[in-house]
Structure 1
């Protein structure tokens, strides 16, 4: 069972998670602005091919992975905490088995 969090622990975790989410929102805003500019250049500027799709896809993948790391696997997320708890239990069982031998 995880140890109870102190109010300072809760405050620190909340600030860290809020900062990570804010970082993702800034990343997403930059993605939209830059890709709109690239699309405009691609469409109305240089060449007739839609080359702007390549940076869009590459950066989009990076943005998606960043989002997963923040919203799914981030510190304090339910999935991460369950995985940590399972690993902790597995290690404790292994240690108890060694001690019983």
Structure 2
């Protein structure tokens, strides 16, 4: 497999992970908007919607961290190896 093919596959994997996160975020917004509406119209004296909003929000935050903080597919170790290789090849 050529370097260009590897880069394409890595880019494709990153885009798929980002799309997966965006779908997750969209579903989170739509479902929780529905829950908030339901809560405020049916039982406005108790704000129970904060529990699913917060719990799911934590999961969404971890998903975002995984997608955006690790380079979308490369591990920290792999990124450090590539950085060291680039430094040695100068």
TM-score, reference length from structure 2:
0.78
Structure 2, unaligned stretches of length 5 or more? 82-90
Work out which of the two has the higher radius of gyration on C-alpha atoms and give 1 or 2: 1
Structure 1 runs of 4+ off > 6 angstroms?
none
Aligned-CA RMSD value = 2.0
Higher RCO (CA < 8 A, seq sep 6+): 2
Partners in 2 of 1:22 and 1:76 — Cα distance? 17
Structure 1, unaligned stretches of length 5 or more? 86-101
Alignment length, in residue pairs? 79
**Partner of residue 75, structure 1:** 73
1:13-28 correspondence runs (5 A): 13-28=10-25
1:49-68 correspondence runs (5 A): 49-68=46-65
